[in-house]
């Protein structure tokens, strides 16, 4: 399994297998049960992770006490609150495992030690930053330029095997629609 993780890291981060092995030396895997809170609200994110297997949602609780799903992350996605990670400030985000989920984590302090040892790792930090930016941009594009049905289809393309295992209320919250609207979309598609 370690070699499969190493290969996936090399591919995702666009680094050599040797560098992926070196990066893995600072990483650790945590497994969460379904519905387990991974990161509580008002914590500081001093680590980021890659989902090896499973699904999580990142959500915020609004002033009415309602939770709003901001991101649904699945296999091979980066998770964490990148703004909190780079600023050291508390996050409003909450992360919850939607399925049994394995995450490969790396701590900010360990990445900084790698960078001090070898400037090469500064490029890795930039690639992680780029991935976080692209995730945020894709989310904004989805909300501004696509209809709820198109957003659902995009989500379905990304991870059809996992989408059917996630409760409809989280999917509808992520899409910015009611569960009833999601049901109508599903009926039209199928």
Q: Which residues pair with 49 in a beta bridge?
A: 79, 105
Is 141 inside any structural domain? no
CB 76 within 8 A of CB 8: yes
8 and 57 housed in the same domain: yes
The angle, 0 to 180 degrees and rounded to 10, between the axes of the packed helices 120-145 and 2-13 is: 70
pLDDT by residue, tens only, the chain of 190 residues: 578 889 988 888 888 999 999 999 999 999 999 999 987 677 899 999 999 999 999 998 889 988 888 888 888 888 898 889 999 999 989 999 999 999 999 999 999 999 999 999 998 888 888 888 888 898 899 889 999 999 999 888 887 877 788 888 888 888 889 999 999 999 988 7
108 shares a domain with 189 = no
Cα separation, 53 vs 140, in Å, equals: 25
What is the pLDDT at residue 121?
Answer: 93
Residue that the structure tokens 């960078």 belong to: 115
Note the pLDDT of residue 176.
Answer: 87
Residues 15 and 88 in one domain: yes
Whether 72 contacts 174, CB under 8 Å: yes
Q: Give the C-alpha separation, 69 to 59, whole Å.
A: 4
Residue 140 in any domain: the answer is no
Q: Which two tokens stand for residue 14?
A: 């666009």
35 and 129 belong to one structural domain: yes
Range of the domain at 171: 146-190
Are 112 and 180 within one domain? no
What does pTM read for this prediction? 0.87
62 in the same domain as 37: yes
Q: What is the CATH number of the domain that holds 60?
A: 2.60.120.10
What does the pLDDT read at residue 1? 58
Q: Does residue 139 lie within any of the structural domains?
A: no
């Amino acid at each position: 399994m370690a070699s499969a993780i190493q290969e996936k890291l090399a591919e995702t981060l666009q680094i050599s297998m040797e560098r992926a092995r070196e990066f893995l030396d600072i990483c650790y895997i945590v497994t969460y049960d379904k519905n387990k809170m991974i990161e509580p609200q008002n914590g500081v994110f001093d680590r980021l992770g890659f989902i090896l297997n499973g699904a999580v949602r990142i959500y915020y609780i609004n002033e009415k006490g309602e939770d709003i799903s901001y991101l649904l992350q699945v296999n091979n996605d980066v998770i964490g609150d990148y703004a909190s990670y780079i600023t050291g400030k508390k996050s409003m985000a909450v992360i919850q495992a939607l399925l049994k989920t394995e995450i490969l984590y790396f701590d900010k302090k360990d990445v900084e030690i790698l960078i001090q040892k070898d400037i090469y790792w500064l490029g890795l930090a930039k690639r992680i930053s780029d991935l976080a930016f692209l995730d945020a941009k894709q989310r904004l594009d989805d909300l501004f330029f696509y209809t709820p049905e198109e957003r659902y289809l995009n989500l379905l393309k990304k991870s059809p095997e996992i989408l059917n295992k996630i409760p409809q209320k989280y999917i509808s919250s992520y899409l910015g629609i009611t569960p009833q609207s999601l049901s109508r979309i599903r009926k039209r598609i199928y």
